[in-house]
Structure 1
Amino acid sequence: MALSSSETKDEDLEVGLIATCRICYQCDDEEDGDLISPCMCKGSQQFVHRSCLDHWRSIKEGFDFSHCTTCKAQFHLQVVELEENVWRKIKISLFIARDVIFALLVLQTVFGMLGGIAYLGDKHEYLRDLLKDYFYTIVIYYGIGVIVFFVLLGSMVFIVGYCLLDDNGRINCCAHCEMDPLLWFVVALLFCVVVLPGSFGIGCALQGAITLIQWITNRHNSILAKKELTKEYVVEDLHGCYTPAELDPEHMERLKALKLF
């Protein structure tokens, strides 16, 4: 006869082993729920909060969704039919908006810092006097910060792309770069001219922004989708008595297609 989860934990306490979650290292509480024993692990690794385990399954990739990362045992998964949750799409949109806004705030901070440096460097306020009839002071130095950022970005990408990579795409040291005087003149000209590095920097920034948004979208979509799957494929509590797990072939193929098995 299998012992209940509470009886198993009482026995652990009698032998001096306190049952704690192997992820958060906390005992039973109302917030995290009861401790379960879903695999072959023993001792301090035996118990885990269901909420902690489901969170772990949602953020890890592949095999960890359906197997224990420590003993490699397959979880006993109880399949629960769920209705389509429209809130997942809303959550994804909110998380994407949050991360994009954070990235924009960081970028605005960089613009402001560069503009502040330009303001401190313009001790005699030549730039302000030159453009004060057209723009407010804060707009002038903010615009300078934006221009300097894109010029620096374009210049750095050009230097890294040309000087650090050889014809085979391997990284070299800039000390070994050999360029003829004409090419040095071209490089110097690119540094001196604002339009070309600035335009190049804008292009790099746009490409980086697109890549970042795609990564954020895919990341949140993957995590939230797996959170929904943790509710559909619920890990059973085996009370310390593990037996080989079996899963319906249809659901197994589905998890394999999602690279979660």
Structure 2
Amino acid sequence: MRGSVYYQSSQLVKQIFKEGAKKEDKINTSHEHYQMVSSYKTMESYRSIWNNFFNYLLEHWKVRDFEKISSEHVQAYMDYKIEYYPSKQYLEKISAALGKLEIALKNFAKNIHKIEKYYDFSIRQTILNEARDLKLVASNYHNRAYNNPELLISNLKNPMNKLAAKIQLEGGARVEGVALIKPEQLRGKKIDKVTKTKKGIVHTKEKGGKQGEVLVSLETYKELENYISIKLEKRENSFSQKKQSNKLKNILYLMIIQKMKILL
């Protein structure tokens, strides 16, 4: 799908909003209005969250086609929101909006492209359930640590997003600190003063321009090195192929010019 954030969200609204749809029809699996939204106010609220989510994807993930949204993006977005201490009600609304987004994307693929496309944003409910279990301490600070972060990470299908989550877990980095790591951010290894073990150093830049070091296990650091190396190799191969293609086009162009001169 092409277009601005607001255009794309407007197209998805058309796939899930049905004014006046009856409650019994919305829960009837065999009815055409199944899982539809019938309230203008609710749809407006959901679309506002969609737009915020889409702008987040543009800024942090460079995703411009929102048909390419995956469960990993949903997980990262909800984690990002939890960083800012949302109320329980607001996080529930985000989860509900993302649930309707999943349905809208499926309907868009079916009604516009005439295909069945797989989307599964159920990770949103796992995160919401974990967040609901958080307890307040005396300082009124919400402990944002998940009870079972390894389970969340294991549910991620994309290796890149799984690696980013491991860096967050091991080093305590924010989402924006690990979204787009570059080669120059790898700073070697050193002994962690706390654990007295050797760790890999990743230089990060986070909210407000704050810079610092994130320490990760040697295994995770090696994974990150390999990922960046493969990414750079692919980029170089792509550049080389484009360069070769342009060279062939220039040769072909010169051959055509020569033939035209002969004909003239």
The TM-score normalised by the length of structure 2 is 0.20
The TM-score normalised by the length of structure 1 is 0.20
Higher relative contact order (CA 8 A, sep 6+): 1
Q: Which has the larger radius of gyration?
A: 1
